Amino acid sequence: MTTPKRALITGVTGQDGSYLSELLLEQGYEVHGIIRRTSTFNTDRIDHIYEDPHQEGARLFLHYGDLTDGTTLRRVLEAVQPVEIYNLGAQSHVRVSFDCPEYTVDAVGMGTLRILEAIRDYQHRTGIQVRFYQAGSSEMFGLVQEVPQRETTPFYPRSPYACAKVYAHWQTVNYRESYGLFACNGILFNHESPRRGETFVTRKITRALARIVAGQQKKLYMGNLDAKRDWGYAKDYVKAMWLMLQQEAPDDYVVATGETHSIREFLDIAFGYVNLNWQDYVEFDERYLRPAEVDLLIGDPAKAKTQLGWEPSVTFEQLVHLMVEADLKGMGLVPLNGHSVQPVIDTATLRPTVLSSLP
Ligand code: NAP
Ligand code: F7E
């Protein structure tokens, strides 16, 4: 019997961590994930693939750790001895990074350096190569210097989050060139799914829409609706991460659809799905603005297409629809023919939630 390849994922409980775990398990890997200790469990996205480790054949294992805790990262690396590490852990909310810049930079920037240092020492001592994937972001392009953005486009980060990602990007390049690490940067544009965090704009819209239809929410408060993003489907994007680590040589790749759409267009399609007019529900609130905005992102995925053979499989409209459908279903609502669902404001069930209002 052959020993399965072992992968270690930081951020395993996140949107991408959950899809990547599914993909790696399908490919026969043994998957180890780092989770943070929290007072309430937050493993919802991976509960369906988790198996009791006491059971023979279990292939998903979880370890407590944190990107701000270098000792534990080293200990987990030594214990797991993975052949691939995917660094997906991050305080990944751009708006929140303005509120908590030190922590964001520690987890995103220094966290990446801690892993690179641990790999460097581990490889030096054991002679075993560990392939490393760094979750870079289109936010690094910020105030864009070229349209569309590609691997060679200069970075111009516009938030503490993006500055930390630029730092992590260059450290990854630096460790590749200085110590021969098989280290890749994925420069991923926005990717979404029904598992997207509830305060990112796409999920905020689809979740609020479902609550409006269910009579649990009257209004949706939002910030800048003019920003444009290149939105793809998260399940497609984790495949690109894996492909990067299967190549002969390490490299950096833009992963995007090559299309851009505004928040207004997202609202049009989402509310249009249930025959509602978003203008009747959406209100402006300045708390959702950022001190500096990224107005336009559109990626050129040509290199990923030619070298990795990667292509997005879901169109923008399909993405919006699948997210709306999932949130309606989550509220126990099934759209009728022609997608009409009549919203009823039921004051007895109108519930403000923390999730509905925090940035
Ligand atoms: P996400 O849903 O916000 O998940 C982030 C993950 O990181 C969660 O598992 C979270 O754990 C974990 N985490 C947060 N702080 C940590 C810390 N200090 N130590 C260890 N783990 C920590 O993000 P995502 O959308 O899956 O994105 C995955 C990665 O890709 C992130 O690095 C993100 O910055 C980057 N990225 C995302 C996109 C996108 O559009 N989704 C695009 C480009 C790049 P908890 O569950 O405990 O919070
Ligand atoms: O904002 C505007 C907001 O928070 C998108 C992260 O995964 O992708 C994500 O970062 C746009 C911005 O994502 C609201 O101003 C308007 O222009 O969904 P978002 P993001 O900032 O693009 C990149 C690639 C990452 O790497 C990040 O980790 O939508 N917007 N009104 C709003 N945004 C939010 N969140 N909430 C609003 O009410």
What is the average per-residue pLDDT within 193-219?
96
Q: Which of 46-55, 93-102, 231-240 is the least confident region?
A: 46-55
CA pair distance 106, 52, nearest whole angstrom: 33
pLDDT at 341: 60
CA gyration radius for the chain? Answer: 21
Residue 257: CB partners within 8 Å, gap ≥ 6?
A: 189, 230, 231, 232, 299, 301, 312, 316
Atom of ligand 1 nearest to the CA of 165: 34
Establish whether the linkage from the previous residue to 148 is cis, with ω within 30° of 0: yes
Q: Is the pLDDT of residue 356 over 80?
A: no
Ligand 1 center from residue 88 Cα (angstroms): 5
The average pLDDT across 263-288 equals 97
Average pLDDT over residues 306-315: 98
- Indicate if ligand 2 lies below 6 Å from the C-beta of 88: no
Ligand 2 centroid to residue 94 C-alpha, Å: 7
Confidence tier at 339 by pLDDT (50, 70, 90): low
Q: Quick one: pLDDT at residue 350?
A: 55
**pLDDT of 351 over the 90 cut:** no
268 pLDDT exceeds 90? Answer: yes
Residue 186 burial (CB count, 10 A)? 25
Whether the CB of 140 sits within 6 Å of ligand 2? no
Distance 218 CA to ligand 1 centre (A): 30
In the chain, the domains with their CATH numbers are: 6-357 (3.40.50.720)
Ligand 2, atom 21, lies closest to the CA of: 94
Give the pLDDT confidence score for residue 332 in this predicted structure. 86
Q: Determine if ligand 2 sits within 6 Å of the CB of residue 288.
A: yes
pLDDT at residue 358 in the model: 83
Chain mean position to CA 149:
19
- Report d(CA 258, CA 235) in Å as an integer: 17
Separation CA 290–CA 155 (nearest Å): 19
Tens-digit pLDDT profile for residues 133-192: 999 999 999 999 999 999 999 999 999 999 999 999 999 999 999 999 999 999 999 999
What pLDDT, on the 0 to 100 scale, is given for residue 108? Answer: 99
Phi-psi region of 188 (alpha: psi -120 to 50; beta: other; left: phi over 0): beta
At residue 2, the pLDDT reads 76
Question: Could you give the maximum distance between any two Cα atoms of the chain, in Å?
Answer: 65
- State the average pLDDT for the chain: 95
Q: Is this structure's pTM higher than 0.85?
A: yes
| Paired strand residues for 186 | 135, 253
Residue 349 has pLDDT above 60, yes or no: no
Percentage of residues of the chain with pLDDT beyond 70: 94
User: Measuring from each residue's beta carbon to the nearest atom of ligand 1, which residues come in under 6 Å?
Assistant: 10-17, 34, 36, 38, 42, 66-68, 88-92, 107, 135, 137, 188, 190-191, 197
Would the pLDDT of 335 be above 70? no
Query: Among 256, 323, 268, 267, which Cα is nearest to 296's?
Result: 256
Contact 104, 142 (CB under 8 A): no
Are 112 and 181 contacting, i.e. CB atoms less than 8 angstroms apart? no
Query: What mean pLDDT do residues 269-297 have?
Result: 97
- Cis peptide bond upstream of 82, omega within 30: no
Which residues are CB-neighbours of 211 under 8 A, at least 6 positions away?
217, 331, 356
**Helix (H) or strand (E) segment spanning residue 64:** strand 60-64
Which residue has 């997608």 as its token pair? 339
User: Does residue 352 have a pLDDT over 80?
Assistant: no
Tokens of residue 134, six digits: 């760094």
Reported as a single tens digit per residue, the pLDDT across 66-100 is 999 999 999 999 999 999 999 999 999 999 999 99
Residue the block writes with tokens 């780092």: 34
Helix runs in the chain, H state only: 15-26, 70-80, 94-99, 101-105, 111-126, 160-179, 201-213, 234-245, 263-273, 302-303, 316-330, 354-357
2 Cβ contact list (under 8 Å, min separation 6):
none
Give me the pLDDT at residue 348, please: 55
Identify the band that residue 342 occupies on the pLDDT scale cut at 50, 70 and 90.
low
Rounded Cα distance, 53 and 223, in Å: 44
- Kindly report, residue by residue over 24-48, the tens digit of the pLDDT: 999 999 999 999 999 999 999 999 9
